[in-house]
């Protein structure tokens, strides 16, 4: 078995985005085996198991990933993960990857794919709600598919806003209020909030939103009224209705699964998409095992080796 756990990573975002886009196209074909995440909960967080098999990419495996929001205070990442690759022909475990950083990258790549297909503009002001690793990778990935004129960042702690802007000083950037951050072309929400942060009246026609943070039951970042104004695209029906941005509005009868416009895979395949430039689009991202396998395949095939730090 191969082990990947060295101290630094060496993958290009361009390659990751392409691989994740291909994985969503495979999902559209209906031949991917991918049960929904299984959750085990603790007082301080949870861990999930995420299995999948992508015949078109000839890769199978399972990721085990935790989410512990209080880990920053412990000096640990909020999310840590391991992926086990399984040989489909024999069932033999063939590789074990530290997927902590890979999880960040594949989530950023999904946001980039959604933005590429659903944003009506390619020259954008990017708004970021949250300033952690998910915000960083959304920015890094989206910069590969759009020209970013300006970034606007909101975080609960002012020092985190300033640190984020310092890290990405190559961009014109502003630490702004929630409302001002939402005055943008593409908005990415990346917090673990369990109550809406983004108000309906702050969202303008023609915006695209990547709703990233809601990845477990009870989480939500958007005013449900935004969902009823927008065309909502999801990554997977079972996961999104159970644990995505739409999970709470559905449970409260404020949104219906019948209102879902389609999956990102269907958007990539050209079956669904934005209908006109003035409508609001939302990508509800819960994170799929197929994304993890797509990026794992790149790591395994990288001739120069891939360094994957832990934690």
Q: CA–CA separation, 174 vs 161, rounded Å?
A: 9
CA distance 291 to 289: 5
Residue located via tokens 């935004």: 226
CATH value at residue 255: 3.40.50.720
Element (H, E) at 229: helix 224-229
Q: Cα angle vertex 13, ends 8, 19, to 5°?
A: 115
Residue-wise pLDDT tens digits, 95-152: 999 998 899 999 999 999 999 999 999 999 999 999 999 999 999 999 999 999 999 9
Residue 3 CA to residue 26 CA, distance in Å, equals 27
Q: Is residue 311 part of a domain?
A: no
Q: Are residues 8 and 88 in the same domain?
A: yes
Domain containing 24: what range?
Answer: 2-103+290-301
Are residues 90 and 188 located together in one domain of the fold? Answer: no
> 63, 116, 219, 297: which one is catalytic?
63
Residues 22 and 152 in one domain: no
According to the model, what pLDDT value does residue 6 have?
33
Residue 307 located in a structural domain: no
14 occurs within a structural domain:
yes
pLDDT tens figures, 175-194:
999 999 999 999 999 999 99
Per-residue model confidence as pLDDT tens digits over 209-223: 999 999 889 999 999
Residue among 68, 85, 136, 149 at smallest CA distance from 295: 85
Average pLDDT estimate for 269-288: 96
Edge-to-edge strand ranges of the sheet holding 79-86: 2-4, 93-98, 79-86, 59-67, 46-54, 38-41
Judge whether 162 counts as a catalytic residue.
no
Question: Distance of CA 67 to CAs 20, 44, 103, 233, 238, Å?
Answer: 22, 9, 11, 24, 20
CA 44 to CA 226: how far, in whole Å? 30
């Amino acid at each position: 078995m191969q082990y990947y756990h060295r101290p630094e990573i060496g993958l290009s975002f361009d390659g990751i985005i392409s691989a994740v886009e291909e994985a969503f196209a495979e999902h559209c074909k209906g031949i991917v085996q991918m049960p929904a995440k299984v959750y085990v909960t603790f007082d301080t967080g949870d861990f999930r198991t995420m299995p999948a098999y992508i015949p078109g990419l000839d890769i199978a495996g399972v990721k085990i990933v935790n989410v512990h929001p209080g880990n920053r205070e412990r000096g640990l990442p909020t999310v840590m993960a391991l992926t086990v690759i399984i040989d489909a022909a024999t069932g033999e475990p063939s590789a074990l990857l530290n997927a902590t950083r890979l999880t960040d990258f594949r989530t950023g790549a999904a946001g980039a794919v959604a933005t590429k297909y659903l944003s009506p503009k390619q020259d954008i002001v990017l708004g970021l709600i949250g300033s952690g690793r998910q915000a960083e990778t959304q920015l890094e990935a989206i910069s590969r598919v759009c020209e970013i004129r300006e970034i606007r960042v909101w975080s609960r702690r002012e020092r985190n806003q300033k640190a984020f802007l310092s890290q990405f000083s190559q961009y014109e950037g502003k630490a702004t209020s929630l409302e001002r951050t939402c005055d943008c072309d593409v908005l990415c929400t990346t917090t673990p909030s369990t109550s809406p942060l983004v108000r309906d009246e702050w969202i303008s026609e023609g915006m695209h939103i990547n709703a990233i943070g809601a990845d477990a039951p009870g989480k939500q970042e958007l005013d449900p009224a935004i969902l009823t104004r927008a065309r909502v695209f999801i990554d997977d029906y079972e996961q999104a209705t159970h644990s995505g941005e739409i999970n709470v509005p559905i449970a409260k009868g404020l949104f219906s699964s019948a209102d879902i416009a389609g999956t990102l895979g269907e958007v990539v395949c050209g079956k669904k998409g934005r209908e006109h430039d003035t409508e609001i689009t939302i990508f509800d991202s819960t994170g799929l095992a197929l994304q993890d396998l797509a990026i794992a395949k790149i790591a395994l095939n990288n001739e120069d080796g891939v360094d994957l730090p832990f934690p």
